[in-house]
Homo-oligomer: A and B are copies of this chain.
Amino acid sequence: MSAGPFARLPPPPYYVVIFSSLRTAGDQGYEQMAARMVELAAQQPGFLGAESARGADGFGITVSYWRSEEDIAAWRRHAEHRLAQQGGRARWYEHYELRVARVERAWGKAI
């Protein structure tokens, strides 16, 4: 899973959660929670990989890849993840959008 920031994934089909978010000001425990969620997600059944970018304006996109929709649903219900979701709504995000999609084709290029 570590080609630097890129996820190493099997051939499609698989599923993706696209999480777009705008951070509130100040850390308020955000970095620690985010690192823990990456660590925890990677331990879940069906987790395939994740990629994340956030600009200086506070807008970020995280994509996490999963074997199935059931695996995504189980991760969404995970107790520690639910606590983080509550913190996200209460403190860390001004606004966010979540989209679940089925990846059908993939290709890439390394120099």
Q: Which residues of A contact B (CB under 8 A)?
A: 3-7, 12, 16, 18, 20, 22, 51-57, 59-61, 63, 89, 93-111
Contacts and interface: CB of A to CB of B under 8 A. Distances in A.
Given A6-B22, A22-B5, A54-B55, A100 B104 contact: yes
Contacts of A89: 109
Contact of A63 (B3, B5, B57, B61): B61
Interface of A is mostly: strand
Contact of A61 (B4, B51, B57, B108): B51
B55 A53 contact: yes
A92 to B, nearest CB: 11
Contact of A59 (B5, B20, B96): B5
A95 B6 CA distance: 9
Nearest to A18: B63
A101 B54 CA distance: 22
A65 to B, nearest CB: 9
A99 B105 contact: yes
Nearest to A106: B99
